[in-house]
Structure 1
Amino acid sequence: MRSLGIDKLPQLNIDDLCMALGERRGRHIRLVPLQLPLGSPDGLWVSTKTEDFILFEQRLAPIHGRQVILHELGHGVCDHHATLVISPDASRLLLPSLNPEMVQRALGREHSQTEAEIEAEYVGSLLSRHVNSWTPNQTWEVPPELQELAERLSALEHPSSRKS
């Protein structure tokens, strides 16, 4: 956490923190609020070759949404890598329009009480010390293709939540 240097910055808002961490990672971090299907995770960190996306449930209470974003940023700070849960060939068969590498990064982490999840939560809590209060009226533009991607990824994690 000390190596991030954010303790030397004035109090940050979420966007400032994303910018500072994005500069450190050498890639832009985009926050994407979405209405995720019931039963899906409250947040997802999707990393591409050029950008990181933090998809989060927009209907959460502001303080909960803030912690979800900070948790996902924690995965980035800790440089957590996905574990293999779907092969590139299986990904091409199931999701032909999506890059198999991106699918692996999004679905590869376990969403349970693993060491990585606990570490991301802890780092997110430490990050919160440097962040101003959440701004509940802030809005972000969500491109339709990201909305569709989030729905498809969420349905893969929780097949019972798929629309019929």
Structure 2
Amino acid sequence: MRVGGSHTKRVDEVLSRIPLSPPWTVHEFLAWLEKDTGRPIRLLPYPEGTVIGNRRCGVLFGLADEDIIMYDPNRSERHQRQTIFHEVGHVLCCHKGEPFSPTDSPLTSGIDPDAIRYMMRRTSFDTTTEAEAELLGTKLAVLSQGSIADDGRGHFNRIISTVVQ
């Protein structure tokens, strides 16, 4: 995957409009994103035993009234944040997903398949949307701390970051 020029410029434009001070938690960032987009965002870990290809990357489902980000709960916290922020990158860059044909599968466990309007899933690293989402997601993940469930320590992380460099 080659990232440069227009990808970097686009990502920098998106980053410049984020009013949060790092380090943020996933919960804090998603709360801001929900306000910014006017759409709830729900995190769902992959159901135990779900296998998609030879590994589990994140998936973004766009429903009429919310977005759902699926991630692998068996990965490290750092990898979980990277996966979630990659999917957030698609949202912030307003990438259009592929149409979704309703299907009942382990991937849609806990989701009404008929409600899914589109999905984003990685099939290649060589697309513009994946390059932008990966670059933006990486930058956002690096600026975050804490576990996925951590919703009350963002202010503490920011205080500590001013002392520990």
TM-score normalised by the shorter chain: which range applies? 0.5 to 0.7
Name the CA distance, whole Å, in 2 between partners of 1:20 and 1:111: 29
The partner residue of 1:23 within 25, 35, 40 is 35
Tell me what 1:32 maps to.
Answer: 44
Any runs of at least 4 consecutive aligned residues in structure 1 with deviations exceeding 4 A, and if so which? none
| Structure whose residues are more often helix by fraction | 1
Shift of 1:83: 3.8
Q: In the TM superposition, what whole-angstrom CA distance separates every residue of 1:34-67 from its partner, at most 9, and x where no partner exists?
A: 2331525321111112111111111112211110
Tell me what 2:137 maps to.
Answer: 124
Contact 1:45-1:53 at 8 Å conserved across structures? yes
The partner residue of 2:96 within 81, 89, 95 is 81
Name the CA distance, whole Å, in 2 between partners of 1:56 and 1:5: 25
Tell me what 2:67 maps to.
Answer: 52
Aligned partner of residue 4 in structure 1, secondary structure: coil
- 5+ residue gaps, structure 2: 1-14, 105-111, 151-165
- 5+ residue gaps, structure 1: 140-164
The partner residue of 2:146 within 116, 134, 156 is 134
Tell me what 1:155 maps to.
Answer: none
The size of the alignment, in residue pairs, is 125
* TM-score normalised according to structure 2 size: 0.65
Aligned partner of residue 119 in structure 2, secondary structure: helix
Q: How much is the aligned-residue C-alpha RMSD, in angstroms?
A: 2.5
Q: In the TM superposition, what whole-angstrom CA distance separates every residue of 1:5-34 from its partner, at most 9, and x where no partner exists?
A: 22xx35311110011111101011111112
Aligned partner of residue 17 in structure 2, secondary structure: helix
Tell me what 2:17 maps to.
Answer: 3
* TM-score normalised according to structure 1 size: 0.65
Contact 1:70-1:124 at 8 Å conserved across structures? yes
Aligned partner of residue 27 in structure 1, secondary structure: coil
Shift of 1:129: 4.0
Contact 1:111-1:117 at 8 Å conserved across structures? no
* Identity rate, percent: 26
Name the CA distance, whole Å, in 2 between partners of 1:110 and 1:72: 10
Counterpart amino acid of residue 21 in structure 1: L
Contact 1:74-1:124 at 8 Å conserved across structures? yes
Name the CA distance, whole Å, in 2 between partners of 1:115 and 1:26: 25
